[in-house]
Amino acid sequence: MVNEAQVETTLHPVLEYDWSLMAPEWAVLVTAILIAVVDLFLGKHNNRRWLGALAVLGVLIAIGLTLGQLGSEPREILGEQYRADAFALGFKLLILAAAVFSLVQVVYSRPPLGEPVRGEHLAVMLAAALGAMIMVSSADLIPLYVGLETMSIASYVMAGLHKRHWRSNEAAFKYIVYGAAASATLLYGFSFIYGLTGSTRLFVIGERLPELWSSDYGFVLMVGFVLMLVGFGYKISAVPFHTWAPDVYEGAPIPTVSFLSVVSKAAGFAMMVRVFFLIFYGDLWSSKLPAVGWLLAILSAASMILGTTAALSQVNVKRLLAYSSIAQAGYLLVPFAVMSTMMFDQMLFFLLAYLLMNMGLFTVLLVVVRNGQAAVASAAAETAAAGTAGAMTAPADGAAAEGDLRLFAGLYRRSPWLALATTIFLLSLAGFPFTAGFFGKLYILLGTVAMGNWWLPAVMIVTTVVSYAFYFKIVRQMYLRPAADTAPLRVPPALGVLIAAAAAATLVFGIFPGLAFDWMHQYLPMLQQFFTPGTPAL
């Protein structure tokens, strides 16, 4: 039996840590628990919209706490396992900003088949955001994997929340099967690295691996690297680990899809940066692992090419954006192929631009669905009854109508400002000049050329030009197709504010990108802090 003195001795080091370092995480956790508990005591027919306001308030508090940590030196707790540095803070701000958009979308979403929006959607989404925040702050394989599984399990639940809706069930099933296989593969890769080095701490592993490579353990090291790459590739939906994305995007609720498209990708790339740059960066990468750079370059090019070409044939907006996200993952893999630390800022700026244009576009889709789902289903039924040759078949259920390209038909007549905002988001996704998406791609392209790689930038340029074709499918519907319903769109004020803010920021950062970079250089010195061991926060 353990006596009180032993318990005090065991807990004393833990209690000594400055847990305010995790204040943003605590805010999100407390909010999620509070919403889950309150939701249990509310009646079935109670209005839960105020729970959404509570969730957004909790995330805004977490954002404020994160901003309060800017400008400080790198600090660590839990024996160097959990780290707060500029890199972690930057990605946390992205994750929390994306969570605000998705939580507001949950409040105003209208699930198909009459299912009510439940409070657990809010709580589970907060849990997923918490897992992503743990991932970006982890400097150890154990909390990294715990954060990954927290985010993954919550994401599986969100994908299948519409339990009476077969497409949602299919999305959740495929997501779980693929996700479980990817998580197991990633964990197996971690076990190889741990077996070689005897440590789970990334800084320690990075110090020991070069010596182990010279001791004829190179093959085992490569096996571990490839296994980890498979797990990472799934999380960022890179080719050939992308097969889950189109079906999950099509079947899952719009707020879930918008959340996964940004948060899962941002956390996945942050995890890749932590592991690859701390473990493999330096002489080991340049002299021992040159083939790895080629492997990442091939994955990057394949993602850009397949994502772009597959999107050309899509008539469902959600599937189109799924393949678009695969292509965007390819653009973000380019800095990994050249293994350049000078591109940290470019990657964060690209993700910021991606957050604005993707979240804005999904919010527009939600507004259009709220106003036009019934009209699209009716028009499709009439078309099918008339037997029009070559016409698209009627949506089989709510999910198909939810992503039907014809939802955007005549949008500029029903809401000119909403059509303009959508055009801005699409142009930014395509990389049109004077948008944030253009500079996001341009800075990665220029950085890659500066590293002596020319063929990847060439692939970026070609796929960017081709992408205009499928993005302009939506533009054509908005401006050149008659609307099934001519009534003006009703835009909830909260969604309107989010759309307007995202569109304005997309233009501001597209005209003055230096504003974002100046702010990052002043408050988020990622390169200076990334490789610096943190001081214990006691």
51-68 core/surface letters (b: 16 or more CB in 10 A; e: else): bbebbbebbebbbebbee
Which residue in 482, 438, 530, 532 sits closest to 136, CA to CA? 530
Preceding omega of 240 cis (within 30 degrees of 0): yes
pLDDT at 4: 42
Strand partners, 140: 201
| Residue pair 503/424 in contact by the 8 Å Cβ criterion | yes
pLDDT of residue 99: 95
Residue ranges of E strands in 174-237? none
Backbone angles phi, psi at 394, to 5 degrees: -65, 145
Distance CA 157, CA 256 (A): 10
Q: Are 452 and 296 in contact (CB under 8 A)?
A: no
Nearest Cα residue to 277 out of 20, 532, 39, 17 = 532
Alpha carbon of 166 to those of 18, 85, 133, 299: distances in Å? 47, 43, 31, 33
Phi, psi of 82 (to 5 degrees): -120, 130
pLDDT in tens, the chain (538 residues): 444 444 343 334 666 777 888 899 999 999 999 999 998 887 676 677 788 899 999 999 999 999 998 888 888 888 778 888 899 999 999 999 999 999 999 988 866 544 555 778 899 999 999 999 999 999 899 999 999 999 999 999 988 887 777 777 888 888 899 899 999 999 999 999 898 888 888 888 888 877 777 667 778 888 888 899 899 998 898 988 888 889 899 888 899 999 999 999 999 999 998 888 888 765 555 555 667 778 889 999 999 999 999 999 988 899 999 999 999 999 999 988 887 767 788 889 999 999 999 999 999 999 998 876 545 445 555 555 555 443 433 344 444 456 778 888 888 888 899 999 999 999 999 999 999 999 999 999 998 888 888 899 999 999 999 999 999 999 999 998 887 777 888 888 999 999 999 999 999 999 999 999 999 988 888 878 888 777 776 6
pLDDT the model gives residue 1: 41
As a whole number of angstroms, the distance between CA 29 and CA 33 comes to 6
Half-sphere exposure of residue 163: CA atoms within 13 angstroms, side-chain side: 5
What is the 3 state secondary structure string of 288-330?
Answer: HCHHHHHHHHHHHHHHHHHHHHHHCCCCEHHHHHHHHHHHHHH
* Residue 445: closest CA among 520, 514, 343: 343
pLDDT at residue number 385: 54
pLDDT, position 341: 67
pLDDT of residue 114: 47
**Given this model, what pLDDT does residue 223 score?**
86
Q: What is the pTM of this model?
A: 0.89
The pLDDT value given to residue 110: 67
Which residue do the tokens 């940590």 mark? 69
Residue pair 135/115 in contact (Cβ under 8 Å)? The answer is: no
> Distances in Å between the alpha carbon of 487 and those of 249, 294, 414?
29, 54, 6
Angle between helices 493-511 and 416-430 (to 10 degrees): 40
**Strand ranges across the sheet with 535-536:** 82-84, 75-77, 535-536
- The sign of the dihedral angle between the CA atoms of 256, 262, 265, 266 is negative
pLDDT of residue 112: 54
The predicted pLDDT at position 474 comes to 92
Q: Which of 131, 63, 441 is nearest to 267 (CA)?
A: 131
Q: Give the SS3 label for residue 82.
A: strand
